[in-house]
Amino acid sequence: MIQHRQTLKNISFILLFILLIIGLSNSSHAASNIFLTEEERAYIAKKGVIKAVSLDGVAPIQYSDKNKEVQGISKRVLQEISAITGLTFEYTLYGSLREVFESNAEIAFGIPNNYAPPDMILSKPYLRSETILYINAAQDPNNLDNKIYAAVRGSALPKGIKEENSIYFETREQSLDAVEAGRADYGYGNAYSVAFYTLQNGYKNLVTIPKGKEARAYCIGFFHEDEILISIINKALSEIGENQLQNLVLDVAAQVERKITFSMVINRYGKEITFIIIGVLSILLFAITSNVKANKTLRMNNRRYEVLSEISNEYLFEYFTKTNRLQLSESFIQQIGTQENLNEANRILKNMLANTAADRQYFEIKLPLANGEVGIFKVIHLSVNDDNGNLVSIIGKVVNISDEAAKREELANKALLDGLTGLYNAITTKELIQTAICSRQEKQRIDAFILIDLDYFKDINDTHGHLAGDNVLLQLGKVLKQSFRTTDIIGRIGGDEFCIYMPNIPSLDFVKTRCQKVSTLINTAIEDIPVTISVGITLVDQDMGYEEIFKSADEVLYQAKRDGRNQIVAWVEK
């Protein structure tokens, strides 16, 4: 068991280099993956720099580094949003929540849901954290009644903690320092910040205990009700996958710069200093201090990797190529479940690792899970070579991205369809019709293009309300699906305007019959509201392009409206 744990620690040690090499590349996005409305794109084009503010001293979520530059997970999330959408942000950190909420900014980032004012609109969460109890080592965690609680000014006190027993500090780091020094007895904080400052400041009087109290969801808060900006940012947050966020968190957390103080040096290296004082030879002193520094770095790195592994929920593996042996972490084996599933997962992983290209550090696979489902996993790996350059093993991590893959597929489908009717939207409809036109090879083939417009649709909205109007559009979409063939392209291209492209029709009468069926069904589908349609039909000539076809159908559609509406007019009849 000890050997097994040591192996996993060694794997974690090497894995950080993988994450540092490829973490940033995995978190890049292309703006083309997000579906934005024309109104949202115009908003982005006109929008200037957005002022974004937050509370300082909440590393690694957000903080100022030694150069007074804003850093942290929240800033990296906003940078991802900027890369996805084209929005530009200006970052400012304040020393207190009061200054944050009194600023003239447009958004506040890295705001926990329980810190936000009641009237602040919050985005969907991009980061969640469990609460960690941190106490002074001299205190009993089971007897904290009437002990001094270290609170962050501006945040609500946890349930059961009295105001008279609380001391307020401006930042989370200050509250941790107070508990470390004994000026306060205990406090609660998010797991990321507690781990970060524990590593950075080398606390030795602090004990941390996971608690299910006050789970926190970090969001972007909006000071004003800007619906378009809220929509754009929420869409961008949906594009940032869970695995991508994990790599981002790891990359930020791995940049901990540990503070070295005089008392820390004395406490940790007192024996070495005493040994120096009594007169060790200078050359031996040099060797000892070099070795101590190396050991200190190794201990600090090992502790860092353990903390990062816990908060990233990653599954580690090592594949020994010469013996064809695959060693998996216990947590991953639990995910797989049965021995049959484990054998299948071993076979798939070994095959992919043995045949992957040397320069390929990432691939996706499907593996059976303990619950009977099939999960989609992302595999990140790196080769380990000996001093002669010979391959010794392949180490890496496996991340379950099933939810992320499902969301990607769902977003891709939504980008093609009209949200109300479920028909193709205007952009998709045009692209499909243009493809169909270009693919026409039989000169004798007859295609038809149809434009349909609801008569007096504005009057329906004004008289019966927009919900009734939406229902009419929804019912017309259903009727169109019932009336036309599965090979026909049906789309909603405007508010109350629809079009159909019918390839390879037998005759014009065939098209008219389908249109008449639509007219009859829609008139009877809506109770208490008379609904009629005007229809314009044009036959597609071999040399006609999309714009010319649309113009022809549009002209006869308006001819139908001029003739009194509730008409079906074809171009050949004009």
* Phi-psi group of 466: left, alpha or beta (phi > 0 → left; psi -120 to 50 → alpha; rest → beta): alpha
Give rounded-to-5 percent helix, strand, coil for the chain: 45, 25, 30
* Residue 495 reports pLDDT greater than 80: yes
Written as six digits, the tokens of 102 are 């009194």
> How distant is the alpha carbon of residue 129 from its chain centre?
16
* Residue 574 reports pLDDT greater than 90: no
* Residue 385 reports pLDDT greater than 50: yes
Asked if residue 362 lies in contact with residue 350, where contact means CB atoms within 8 angstroms, the answer is: no
Say whether 418 is catalytic: no
* Residue 24 reports pLDDT greater than 50: no
Tell me the pLDDT band of 287, cut-offs 50, 70 and 90.
Answer: low
Written as six digits, the tokens of 150 are 């270290």
Portion of the chain with pLDDT greater than 90, in percent:
42
Torsion angle, alpha carbons of 93, 99, 100, 101, to 10: -170
Q: Give the model's pLDDT for residue 91.
A: 96
Q: Give the model's pLDDT for residue 194.
A: 86
- Comparing 461 with 21, the larger pLDDT belongs to 461
**Using DSSP, how many helices (H) and how many strands (E) does the chain show?**
18, 21
**pLDDT single digits (tens) 344-369:** 888 888 888 877 765 567 788 888 88
Q: Give the model's pLDDT for residue 320.
A: 86
Residue 474's nearest CA partner among 414, 537, 418 is 418
CA–CA distance, 347 with 341 (Å, rounded to integer): 10
* Residue 14 reports pLDDT greater than 70: no
**pLDDT single digits (tens) 484-493:** 999 999 999 9
CA–CA distance, 57 with 193 (Å, rounded to integer): 9
For 188, counting Cβ atoms within 10 Å of its Cβ (0-12 exposed, 13-18 middle, 19+ buried), the class is buried
Q: Give the model's pLDDT for residue 277.
A: 66
CA–CA distance, 181 with 147 (Å, rounded to integer): 15
> Tokens 């969907």 appear where?
124
Candidate from 252-256, 339-343, 533-537 with smallest mean pLDDT: 252-256
Q: Give the model's pLDDT for residue 260.
A: 52
* Residue 523 reports pLDDT greater than 60: yes
Q: Give the model's pLDDT for residue 285.
A: 67
> DSSP readout, 550-572?
HHHHHHHHHHHHHTTSS-EEEGG
Written as six digits, the tokens of 503 are 């390839």
- In total, the chain counts a number of residues equal to 574
Q: Give the number of other CB atoms < 10 A from CB of residue 139.
A: 17
CA–CA distance, 173 with 152 (Å, rounded to integer): 9
Written as six digits, the tokens of 3 are 């050997």
Supply φ then ψ for residue 373, to 5 degrees: -90, 170
Q: Give the model's pLDDT for residue 567.
A: 92
As a whole number of Å, the end-to-end CA separation of the chain is 87
> Looking at 145, 455, 496, 554, which residue is catalytic?
496
Q: Give the model's pLDDT for residue 4.
A: 43
Residue 78's nearest CA partner among 39, 119, 50, 40 is 50
Candidate from 260-264, 296-300, 329-333, 456-460 with smallest mean pLDDT: 260-264
Name the most confidently modeled range: 154-168, 181-195, 308-322, 466-480: 466-480
Q: Looking at residues 402-408, what average pLDDT do you find?
A: 73
Beta strands in 191-278 (DSSP E): 206-222
CA–CA distance, 335 with 331 (Å, rounded to integer): 6
CA–CA distance, 389 with 134 (Å, rounded to integer): 46
* Residue 402 reports pLDDT greater than 80: no
Residue 113's nearest CA partner among 173, 155, 81, 79 is 155
* Residue 27 reports pLDDT greater than 50: no
Torsion angle, alpha carbons of 434, 437, 438, 444, to 10: 180
Q: Looking at residues 41-49, what average pLDDT do you find?
A: 94
Q: Domains for the chain: give ranges and CATH numbers.
A: 2-125+218-253 (3.40.190.10), 129-215 (3.40.190.10), 262-312 (no CATH), 315-401 (3.30.450.20), 417-573 (3.30.70.270)
Beta strands in 19-96 (DSSP E): 49-55, 63-64, 70-71, 88-94
Q: Give the model's pLDDT for residue 304.
A: 57
Residue 179's nearest CA partner among 129, 139, 130, 142 is 139
Candidate from 121-125, 216-220, 364-368, 558-562 with smallest mean pLDDT: 364-368
pTM: 0.41
Asked if residue 85 lies in contact with residue 91, where contact means CB atoms within 8 angstroms, the answer is: no
Contacts of 104 (CB under 8 A, 6+ apart): 51
Name the most confidently modeled range: 112-116, 182-186, 295-299: 182-186
Candidate from 138-147, 234-243, 271-280, 519-528 with smallest mean pLDDT: 271-280
Tell me the pLDDT band of 381, cut-offs 50, 70 and 90.
Answer: confident
